[in-house]
Every structure is written in structure tokens, then in C-alpha cells.
Amino acid sequence: MYADELPVHINESIATAIDGIDRIQILLENIHYFTQYSTDMGKPTNINEVSKRAIEIVKGTVIKENMSINTKHDTNIPLINCNKNKLLQIYLNLFTNATEACNKKGEILVESYLNKEGQVVWSISDNGVGISENDKHKIFEEFYTNKKNGTGLGLSVCKKLLEEMNAELSFESQYQEGTTFFIKFKSVEEIKNDLFS
């Protein structure tokens, strides 16, 4: 018997099961890829170069959705000791969140700079839906998501990986106005000073 000969409710059940299997597959792939512990923390890296690479990757989606990306990269920030490939995946995850939070004609701003404490900061801001007060304390929890097809792994794993890189992930958000995520790194010089102090 062919699929088009089956009752509608059976076809719907099959489609739901296939969708569930696909989501489980994506979940397992994300767990395997992101949570592999690595003692290789990488080499001194220019985070602006990684940022520009991430923008090149998402540019097609941004143009398709009639959105815009603006950048303000400080070219004088020091190098950061990190795993370049994992940092790229973290950036891409945050870009994905930003684009999904925005409607058509959304705007994204990416910045890198030294803050008042001398920390190297990379941030991404959007003018999307923002995060409600009820959700703010949950977004770094594992498996929490408000997306229909989300796995809930993105932000919690990004936070864990950044902690391995001596960095921290935080955010500020106004509901219905937008969100900014901040990654605060320790520079190579800071890490050397910590080791020998």
C-alpha cells in the first residue's frame, strides 16, 4: 500500500514520527559536536577575523530575509587564546538567534572593543522580539527553548565552551525591542599575568 492510499491520520502520524527522528538526529549531532571536551584551547586568535568569517557565512540568509548587518570592529584589540573553530560555531549560533528574533528588515550590529575593565568584548545586537522577564533566567538552561524546532542546546553549550576559553557569555534584553549578547574574553596577556601572579 502506498502512502497516498493510507488514511490521513496515519500519514500525519508517520510525518510526525519522521519529524521527531530528524530532531533527535540534530540533537545528537549537536551534543556530539559541541560538547566534546578538548584540552586544545587553540592559539592566539584575532576574534575580528573569526567574526568576519561568520558574517560571510550568514550573509546569504541575511540578504534573503531583507535584513542588514553593521559592524564596529576595534582593530587594536589584543589577540585572544581560543579554539578558532569552536568560536566560529558560537558566533554562528548567536547570529542564528539574532536573525530568528528579527522580523523582515531587521538590523543586527556586531561590535568588538575593550571595555572599561580592559576586557576584550564581542557583542551582537538585534532589534528583534527581545526576551521576556519570565524567560531571562531560563535561557542558559540546558534543553530550554521557545523555538518550535529548537533543541535548547545552543546557548547553554555556547556558555560552557566559552568558559573553557576563559570567557563569559551574558546578555541584555528589552521585550519587543531587542537583545544584545556579550562575550567577554581574557586577553592572552591577562592569562599570562594570571599564571605568573
Name the β-bridge partners of 121.
113, 184
Q: What is the pLDDT of residue 149?
A: 43
Distance between CA atoms of 196 and 194, rounded to whole angstroms? Answer: 6
pLDDT band at 11 (very low <50, low <70, confident <90, very high): low
**How is the beta sheet containing 107-114 ordered, strand by strand?**
68-73, 107-114, 120-126, 178-185, 167-174
The answer on pLDDT for 41 being more than 90 is: no
Cell numbers placing 64: 534573503
As a whole number of Å, the CA-based R_g of the chain is: 19
Q: Look up the pTM and report it.
A: 0.74
Name the percent of the chain lying above pLDDT 70: 70
Is the C-alpha dihedral spanning 88, 90, 96, 101 positive or negative?
Answer: negative
The answer on pLDDT for 51 being more than 60 is: yes
Please answer whether residues 110 and 194 qualify as being in contact, where contact means their C-beta atoms are separated by less than 8 angstroms. Answer: no
| 78: nearest Cα among 54, 115, 114, 110 | 114
